[in-house]
Structure 1
Amino acid sequence: MGMGDPVILAPFQRAICMQKWLMPITCHMFTYTLKDSARIWWNSQKAGSILNYQDLKAKFQSHFSQQKKFTKSHLAVHNIKQREGKRTRAFTTRYTDDTLQILGLHEDQRISGFVHGLRTRSLVEHLSTDLPSTYKGLMEKTYTWIEAREVATNGAPNDRRENFERSKNSS
């Protein structure tokens, strides 16, 4: 069980079936497989707080599941910025991936956050003239601009010359 990853429960489940263990034995044997953080978790459980193996398994998976998603607030969209020296295409992909994790994010907020996070002045100017009303439209217009720039510059990364001037005193 090592790190406590629930995926490792599968071999233990098979052992239960093969050995035909009774539930008290199953729980007892399960605890012998725990190490490191899983052992610490087990030791922190109050006596009588786990009713049976199914309860133990559910609590273990809930605590150690790597599939838990951190739910971000819609305000997090304003913290997604194009990093200094990073290409616009990379930012566009990262922004789209990051905003998909924000539940309930309105399309207007997604569009506004994208334009606000850009560091490439000419793209912001391009998008601002006739700003698309949908995120899909915004991405189509953005990728058209990116591809045109790549063709015009033979794929050379020249986004840096277009960056906004950021004053040291602005916050």
Structure 2
Amino acid sequence: MPVAYHMFTYTLKVSARIWWNSQKACIIFNYEDLKAKCRSHFSQQKKFIKTHLAVHNIKQKEGESTRAFVSRYTDDTLQILGLHKDQRMYGFVHGLRTRNLVEFLSTDLPTTYKGLMEKTYPCIEAKEVATNRTPTDQREGFNKSRKNPS
């Protein structure tokens, strides 16, 4: 049994090893007891369910591109069950940091989230083109050929 005990401790990863080392001596009596304590400590089976109020906490981060925020916002709001379409749209506009885009979207706000995205993406693409940050553009090769005309 002592060999199995020592071999068991070598198989543990960081968080499990920290938990194991924090246990008092003789507190675990057998395998069933170990299994029950591990499950109660490490079990994350309950999935946290976000409510519709979580939408108002999704904000564009400092330095985060608008395109990245749109992607993150869409992913986060898809996890919220029963979210009303108006809350999803208003939460998006509320979370934006780009003042010009907020003003543009606020005038004649679309009635659907899809419509809101169809109105948002041309603005994002126009800004990327204006600042030469188009993700699909091959600017490096283009600039090299212009620098070395032959």
TM range (shorter): 0.5 to 0.7
Are residues 1:94 and 2:72 paired? yes
Identity rate, percent = 75
1:103 deviates by 0.6
Structure 1 length as normaliser, TM-score? Answer: 0.53
State the alpha-carbon separation in 2 of the partners of residues 116 and 96 from structure 1: 14
Are residues 1:155 and 2:93 paired? no
Find the residue that maps to 1:116 and give its secondary structure: helix
Specify the alignment match of 2:30 in structure 1: none
- The 5-angstrom pairing of residues 114-129 of structure 1 reads 114-129=92-107
Number of aligned residue pairs: give it. 128
Find the residue that maps to 1:145 and give its secondary structure: helix
CA 1:70–1:128: 2 relative to 1, 3 Å: same
The one-letter code of the counterpart of 2:90 is S
Find the residue that maps to 1:111 and give its secondary structure: helix
CA 1:37–1:83: 2 relative to 1, 3 Å: closer
Give CA-to-partner distance per residue, 1:117-142, whole Å, 9 cap, x none: 00000100110111011001111111
CA 1:65–1:136: 2 relative to 1, 3 Å: farther
Unaligned runs of 5+ in 2: 1-11, 17-34, 135-150
Unaligned runs of 5+ in 1: 1-33, 39-55, 158-171
